[in-house]
Structure 1
């Protein structure tokens, strides 16, 4: 896939990603518990790469292909369900 992220922004409930092909895609923050719980300053420290988004301090990685496929991060949600 040759589509890469160009910019990231947030509102109260949504992650917005502008892509290199001109599209902007949105995903609900509840799909990404680490981002949902993070402070705005932490969310702002995103690193953009060819394939996705990375937040070092939050240990969060989101791929463009995953966003386009509508795939949420279920890792922490499954952990909470097991507790």
Structure 2
């Protein structure tokens, strides 16, 4: 029996937009993928300024938010994977944040 494998090439991110309820990522293959912001609790808790302070990492295969220590991969977005952070870790991070206004 012969099994053929299909190589799937993951596109790179080119731009990111975070609204009040959605994370949208423009990909270099022309698509834009949008996912619920609820998938990423740190982004929900972030200020507008923190949400807008992102940079592409790994040649565009990931997005990093320095202020909130969040990394999201394009592959994870395409696979429909929400944040894998544990509730314990998230609560610890949340407790360490100073009170801020958007």
Could you say which TM-score interval applies, normalised by the shorter chain?
0.7 to 0.9
Which structure has more relative contact order (CA 8 Å, sep 6+)? It is 1
Q: How many residues align?
A: 81
User: Structure 1 segments of 4 or more deviating over 2 A?
Assistant: 76-80
- CA–CA separation in structure 2 for the residues paired with 1:6 and 1:55: 15
* Post-superposition CA distance 1:16-55 (Å, at most 9, x none): 0000000000011110000011001001110112211001
- The answer to whether 1:66 aligns with 2:76 is yes
Q: CA-atom RMSD, angstroms?
A: 1.8
Stretches of structure 2 lacking an aligned partner (at least 5 in a row): 1-8, 91-102
Larger radius of gyration: 2
Stretches of structure 1 lacking an aligned partner (at least 5 in a row): none
